[in-house]
Amino acid sequence: MQRSLSFEIFRYAAIFTFLALSLIPTIWMISMAFKPIAEWQASGADLTWWPENPTLDNFRFIFGESGSDLIVALERTAGRPILASLLAATFGTLIAMVAGTSAAYGLSRFGAGGNLPLALIQLRIFPPMAVMIPVMIMWAFLGLIDTWYGLALIYGIVTMPFSFWLMKTFFDDMPREIEDAALVEGCSRWRVFLKITLPMMRPALASSALFVFILNWSDYLIALLLTTRDWVTIPVYMASLSSSMTGQLYGAKAALGLIAAVPPVIMGIAIQKQLVRGLTFGALKE
């Protein structure tokens, strides 16, 4: 099909606009992470797209090394919050995926629970704040405040509905005959699930897990309420990177943001191959 030149120009202009909208904040963050203090503190006119004197000072700073021109001392370094985020988000995702997948399978195959599963999303109906107050009290009672496992547990509970609904649609779409075939060919229900259903669901599990992980990884509110000192997570820690003398420590925040972006990106790349493959491609006759 022949398209006119003006249409092509318009098309590329639109593409670049959208690209810019989505990429500029990212580029800005990456650039800022490597700028020395003088460059990111510069007001207005002096701002540059790229660092003129690239430096790793911001990274050194958040990990507690001197070498920065900043005259603020950090209460905490970034190492511990990174560990807290990794533990809480990973185990929270694990809890959500195991519970959500089992529940989704039970409902999709056996109608387990009847209408009860709708109640799963009720936690999402209320504003998070309203739910979190009672949770804070319960967690305090259970001694789970400011622990990574306390955080992981609430992450698992809060994101389970997502993994549940995602996995349910995948299970609903999977042809029953494939499981029936395995049953007839000598498998028990459990073996069918382990040998046939789960391997077939790998792309679905991977994409749901990534989604849930990102939700947990980027949570601010829950971590803010349930952690105090030892196990604050990256977002909470990031918010604390400011001082009365210098204001927001943008360079340090950008450096931390860059580090925080690494796990989801790695996960995304790792499962990319799974995502492009169809779920049951080739199992059935067309």
Q: Which residues form the interface with other proteins (CB under 8 A)?
A: 175, 177-178, 180-188, 191, 196, 199-200, 202, 279-286
d(CA 156, CA 52): 44
CB of 178 or CB of 261, closer to other proteins: 178
CB of 208 or CB of 227, closer to other proteins: 208
Report, in Å, the least distance between residue 46 CB and other proteins: 57
Query: How many residues are there in the chain?
Result: 286
Angle between helices 148-173 and 202-217 in degrees, nearest 10: 150
Report, in Å, the least distance between residue 268 CB and other proteins: 22
Name the 3-class secondary structure at 44. helix
CB of 110 or CB of 281, closer to other proteins: 281
Report, in Å, the least distance between residue 182 CB and other proteins: 7
Report, in Å, the least distance between residue 270 CB and other proteins: 18
Report, in Å, the least distance between residue 185 CB and other proteins: 4
The amino acid at residue 76 is R
Of 134, 112, 206, 195, residue with least CA distance to 163 = 206
CB of 93 or CB of 208, closer to other proteins: 208
d(CA 71, CA 78): 18
Q: Are 254 and 29 in contact (CB under 8 A)?
A: yes
d(CA 55, CA 70): 14
CB of 34 or CB of 193, closer to other proteins: 193
d(CA 216, CA 222): 10
